[in-house]
Amino acid sequence: MPSCKLLMNPMRTAKQGVQVNVGKFTDDYEAIVTALSMHESDMQTLGVVDGDKVRVRTEHGHADFVCEKAKVPEGMIFVPYGPPTCQLMGGDTGGTGMPTSKGWEVEVEPLDE
Amino acid sequence: MGGKVTCTLGEIKNRADFIIYWGGNPAECHPRHFTKYTLMQKSKFLPRGRKDRTMVLVDIRETKSVRAADIFLQVRPGKDFELLTILRALIKGQKVADEQIETTGLTRETLEDLVLRMKSAKFGAMFFGMGLSMTRGKHMNSAALLTLAAEMNAFTKFVAMPMRGHGNVTGADVVMRWQTGYPFGITYNRGYPRYNPGEFSTVDLLVRGDTDCAFIIGADPGATMPRPAIDHLARIPTIVLDPHVTHTSRLAKVHITTAPAGIAAPGTGYRMDEIPLPLRPAISSPYPSDEEVVRRINAAIDEHPDWRHAQPQMLTNQL
Whole-model pTM: value is: 0.93
Is B228 within 8 Å of chain A by CB? yes
Tens digit of each residue's pLDDT (9 = 90 or more) over B18-29: 999 999 999 999
Percent of chain B at pLDDT > 90 equals 89
Confidence band (pLDDT; 50, 70, 90) for B306?
A: confident
Question: Mean pLDDT over residues B18-42, rounded?
Answer: 96
Burial grade of B261 (CB within 10 A; 0-12, 13-18, 19 or more): buried
Tens digit of each residue's pLDDT (9 = 90 or more) over B263-299: 999 999 999 999 999 999 999 999 999 999 999 999 9
Confidence band (pLDDT; 50, 70, 90) for A78?
A: very high
From residue B263, alpha-carbon distances to A92, B34, B271 in Å are 36, 25, 16
Percent of chain A that is helix, strand, coil (3-state, to 5): 25, 35, 40
- For domain B9-162, the CATH architecture is 3-Layer(aba) Sandwich (3.40)
Confidence band (pLDDT; 50, 70, 90) for B184?
A: very high
Q: Is the pLDDT of residue B309 over 80?
A: no
Q: Residue A81, Cα to own-chain centre: how many angstroms? A: 8
- Pick A97's closest partner by Cβ from B204, B229, B246: B204
Q: CATH code for B169-313?
A: 3.40.50.740
ipTM greater than 0.90: yes
pLDDT at B311: 57
Domain locations along chain B: 9-162, 169-313
Domains for chain A: give ranges and CATH numbers: 4-91+102-110 (2.40.40.20)
Tens digit of each residue's pLDDT (9 = 90 or more) over B208-254: 999 999 999 999 999 999 999 999 999 999 999 999 999 999 999 99
Confidence band (pLDDT; 50, 70, 90) for A113?
A: low
CB B25 within 8 A of CB B65: yes
| Rg of chain A on CA atoms, in Å | 14
Q: Given its phi and psi angles, is residue B42 left (phi above 0), alpha (psi -120 to 50 degrees) or beta?
A: beta
Return the residue of A nearest to B228 by Cα. Answer: A91
Return the residue of B nearest to A12 by Cα. Answer: B29
Q: Is the pLDDT of residue B318 over 70?
A: no
CATH fold match for the domains B9-162 and B169-313: no
Burial grade of B29 (CB within 10 A; 0-12, 13-18, 19 or more): buried
Cα dihedral B115, B121, B122, B126, rounded to 10, equals: -70
CA distance B245 to chain A (A): 8
